[in-house]
Structure 1
Amino acid sequence: MPKSLKSRGGEEELQCGPVFTVFAMGTRMTFVTEEEGINVFLNSKHVNFELAVQKPVYCTASVPKNIFFTLHEKLYITMKGKMGPFNIHQFTGKLIDELHEQLGNLGSHGIMDLNILVRDLLYPATVNTVFNKGLIPTDKGELQEFYQHFETYDEGFEYGSQMPEWLLRNWSKSKKWLLEVLEKNITHIKAYKSEKDNSVTIMQAVQDVIEMEKSELIPNYALLMLWASLSNAVPIAFWTLAFVLSHPDIHRAIKEDIASVFGSAGKDKMKVTEDELKKLPLTKWCVLEAIRLRAPGVLARKVVKAVNIMNFTIPPGDLLMVSPFWLHRNPKYFPEPELFKPERWRKANLEKHAFLDGFIGFGGGKFQCPGRWFALLEIEICLILMLYKYDCYLLDPLPKQSDLHLVGVPKPEGQCRIEYRKRI
């Protein structure tokens, strides 16, 4: 039975069945939209994540395919262990200190585009935690240059993953600029020692693995790490704050929860412990609900042996595609799917690190995003500190999401200004 499928902007695009194939740029991409196909995507041994991403990794970071296959699982295990739910607490103090420092730059009152505000908070805080201080410039001119090159690289990432680099002059220039910056800082990153303990940063743990195989590719993997740590966390933090501020009842409930745990505003250097985070479940629900509504457009696997889905045979060589955007709007899993309802996450067993059925915002199967718990933590802390320290108001309506890209979290379409005033 044909069904209507909608773009992320909500306009009706086409009618098609539960399994359909698109042929573009020499590649067959077969989309599945029903439970049977999604189960094959997530669980079948005949579809492969690594084969689906080898070309994008080579194109965007110049990591040869043979090195990628040699290192991928080792690196995944390393990052999953370092940023897993049982170790994630080691980053809490660092993230809080970094965010306090960046919030100090906002002053007592101002009006900014919310996307820029979140970027200015999370870019330095994340990089200083994942890598170490020194990679992000402190000089304003150099900092803007860094932002410009990263955002050019990020904006063109999807095109750069598929097209020859010589067709993307500005993107290629920014890629090379970032690689040069990372190469200059590799020794500094490696030499960093924590003042509080002997723990290593996430990038240091990754370096240790790469050095055993191909040390000259450390800057290339550092570029992938930089992109992975910034490209989705910042827009999700934006959407979370935008959704919260556009729902006065939720905004009020979060502020009341924060006050019940930390007291009235005024503590310049408040800390947030693991136990205190557990007392603020609504913040995590809001982040997860924002991810549900603003999930990546597509996830891909390479078919290595023919699979059968709903009487269709998908041949080897196809990319099997699933859209989190569509799945997250299936009313079977998410009643009233277009509404921002963080309370729906009450039913998730988050203490046992399980999400709601039908949620694939961090991918699925063997290679879910290894940084998912780190991303949730930093956005939660950012939300808590921002709403504790400032009274915030949106000056523009909640923007639509951009439909320019299918890879990654959609960016806002147009400006969304926020007025903030320090609470006393």
Structure 2
Amino acid sequence: MEIVSPTVIIFLGCIAFLLLLQWKNLRGPPCIGGWIPWIGAGFEFGKAPLEFIEKARIKYGPIFTVFAVGTRMTFVTEEEGIDVFLNSKRVNFELAVQNLMYRVASVPKNIYLTLHEKLYIMMKGKMRTFNLYQFHEQLTEELHEQLKNLGTHGTMDLNHFVRHLLYPATMNTLFKKDFFPTNKSKIMEFCQHFETYDKGFERGSQMPECLLRNWSKSKKWLLALFEENIPDIKSYTAGKDNSMTLMQGVLDIIKMETNEQKSPNYGLLLLWASLSNVVPVAVWTLAFVLSHPDIHKTVMEDISSVFGSPGKDKIKVSEDDLKKLLLIKWCVLEAIRLRAPGVITRKVVKPVKILNYTVPSGDLLMLSPFWLHRNPKYFPEPESFKPERWKKANLEKHAFLDSFLAFGSGKYQCPGRWFALLEIQICVILTLYKYDCTLLDSLPKQSFLHLVGVQQPEGQCRIEYKQRK
């Protein structure tokens, strides 16, 4: 048996000491892993990710890393980390989501990186606040039509009620008139596939498609729907001003940059982006308003002051009308604050220092608007529905409250945020104007299962509606 000399032992010890010093200087945040390779903390994290994040913050402090399903996610929860997330050039949005785009809509990574900025600029321009007038009339018409289809009275789950209104109104406005099916069986088929796709979106963004049979089937059905309808979408001529629909603008850029004639992938992405968050926000807004009698009363007084006594008239909702109904906008924003997305993300492209830690390149840097919006330092009485807190926001200059990040921030802030707010406000106004609405169930709890997008209601919340005379 060979004996290692003392000189070699000392040399190896020095190397180990130097490596230890280097590790201390470049040490990363506390890392929550697991004993199963690749899976890591995936099982525990996946049970209730939002609860997991908050428990980890309490235990490990304002910055920590979670290793799950082969991915390192470093969460930041306090000012310095938030500033790095929003402003550092060492983190990148596009690289953080390119894998997601490939998995959920089969967009090749190189195509996504080629098109993303150009598509973003086009959508941002088309949906700027000073261009929203283009959508007012059609959205109002579409919502009136869907309200008419509801009849004079009924009882329905609030989620289903809002889907009945916003699915067709949104799709017919952004894609082309009558894109949403009118045949009852076709409507049911579409809703079944979209809701399966939406419900499984988060898993679909992380797992191989072969493991998600039903989700994969619905994804392919929706892609086929767009492939079949793209010729009609391209040739569609809009109303009075012949302006392009948003989807026509998307198709023009794709053709210009890639020479692709059919692009169902981006149709699917636009469909999901336009429906998946707007519907639950409208649900929560109506649920919060109807479950707070004082707020409901004031909202109805405001509506009466602008449109006269509520009834079944086919009112038009203009931009000037919305400016007089600030409380409704505050209610929408407060609902978004309370049910904000679980995380928004960036990819670390160069090591970045936050507090006393160095976050290595390759990590996903994660910020949780859901928990940030519950920090009493930024939002006093954070669990209370207090729309009046939005008095302090400079909404005339289109600025939200500080630390409100539901729409992201910076260069890639959600380009559709103003359109989304517009359609939710009009939906709430017309619903409350036309119907006397009552919640038959208590305000539902929020699900803690979602990281991507607005939090969904947990359990049903039935609404009874009666047409006003």
User: TM over 0.5, yes or no?
Assistant: yes
1:138 corresponding residue in structure 2: 182
User: Greater CA deviation, 396-405 or 262-271?
Assistant: 262-271
User: With structure 1 as the length reference, what TM-score do the two structures score?
Assistant: 0.97
Alignment of 1:70-219 (within 5 A): 70-214=114-258, 215-216=260-261, 218-219=263-264
1:43 corresponding residue in structure 2: 87
Deviation at 1:88, TM superposition (A): 1.1
Q: Which letter maps to 1:353?
A: H
User: Greater CA deviation, 122-131 or 11-20?
Assistant: 11-20
Deviation at 1:410, TM superposition (A): 1.2
Is the Cα contact below 8 Å between 2:50 and 2:451 reproduced in 1?
Answer: no
1:290 corresponding residue in structure 2: 335
Deviation at 1:245, TM superposition (A): 0.4
2:423 equivalent among 378, 403, 406: 378
Deviation at 1:213, TM superposition (A): 2.3
Is the Cα contact below 8 Å between 1:236 and 1:409 reproduced in 2?
Answer: yes
2:9 corresponding residue in structure 1: none
Deviation at 1:13, TM superposition (A): 3.7
Structure 2: how far apart are the matches of 1:199 and 1:346?
35
- Per-residue CA deviation, residues 316-353 of structure 1 (Å, 9 max, x unaligned), is 00000000011101111111110000010011011111
2:149 is paired with a residue whose SS is coil
Is the Cα contact below 8 Å between 2:227 and 2:264 reproduced in 1?
Answer: yes
User: With structure 2 as the length reference, what TM-score do the two structures score?
Assistant: 0.88
Gaps of 5+ in 1: none
1:66 equivalent among 110, 132, 138: 110
1:262 corresponding residue in structure 2: 307
Structure 1: how far apart are the matches of 2:178 and 2:433?
28
2:263 is paired with a residue whose SS is helix
Is the Cα contact below 8 Å between 2:312 and 2:468 reproduced in 1?
Answer: no
Structure 2: how far apart are the matches of 1:142 and 1:13?
44
Deviation at 1:10, TM superposition (A): 11
- Per-residue CA deviation, residues 170-228 of structure 1 (Å, 9 max, x unaligned), is 00100000000111000111111122112111111111111112325521100000000
Larger Rg computed on CA atoms = 2
2:444 corresponding residue in structure 1: 399
Is the Cα contact below 8 Å between 1:7 and 1:13 reproduced in 2?
Answer: no
| Structure 1 segments of 4+ aligned residues over 4 angstroms from their partners | 6-12
Structure 2: how far apart are the matches of 1:387 and 1:36?
43
Matched, 1:329 2:374: yes
Deviation at 1:7, TM superposition (A): 6.7
Deviation at 1:9, TM superposition (A): 6.8
2:35 corresponding residue in structure 1: none
Matched, 1:355 2:400: yes
Structure 2: how far apart are the matches of 1:243 and 1:183?
39
Is the Cα contact below 8 Å between 1:123 and 1:230 reproduced in 2?
Answer: yes
Is the Cα contact below 8 Å between 2:50 and 2:449 reproduced in 1?
Answer: no
Is the Cα contact below 8 Å between 1:300 and 1:319 reproduced in 2?
Answer: yes
Q: Which letter maps to 2:215?
A: W
Structure 1: how far apart are the matches of 2:330 and 2:311?
26
2:23 corresponding residue in structure 1: none
Matched, 1:305 2:350: yes
Matched, 1:417 2:462: yes
2:257 is paired with a residue whose SS is coil
1:20 is paired with a residue whose SS is strand
User: CA 1:143–1:171 in structure 2 vs 1: closer, same or farther (change >3 Å)?
Assistant: same
Q: Which letter maps to 1:236?
A: V
Structure 2: how far apart are the matches of 1:65 and 1:79?
20
Structure 1: how far apart are the matches of 2:98 and 2:222?
21
2:436 is paired with a residue whose SS is strand
Deviation at 1:86, TM superposition (A): 1.2
The root-mean-square deviation of aligned C-alpha atoms, in Å, is 1.5
2:19 corresponding residue in structure 1: none
Matched, 1:237 2:282: yes
- Per-residue CA deviation, residues 258-310 of structure 1 (Å, 9 max, x unaligned), is 00000012353100111111000011100000000000001110000111111
1:213 is paired with a residue whose SS is helix
Identity %, equivalent residues: 72
Alignment of 1:19-34 (within 5 A): 19-34=63-78
2:130 is paired with a residue whose SS is coil
User: CA 1:154–1:20 in structure 2 vs 1: closer, same or farther (change >3 Å)?
Assistant: same
Gaps of 5+ in 2: 1-29, 31-47
Deviation at 1:133, TM superposition (A): 2.4
Structure 1: how far apart are the matches of 2:450 and 2:324?
37
Q: Which letter maps to 2:424?
A: I
Structure 2: how far apart are the matches of 1:135 and 1:158?
26
Structure 2: how far apart are the matches of 1:356 and 1:330?
13
Q: Which letter maps to 2:297?
A: R
User: Greater CA deviation, 250-259 or 193-202?
Assistant: 193-202
Is the Cα contact below 8 Å between 1:9 and 1:401 reproduced in 2?
Answer: no
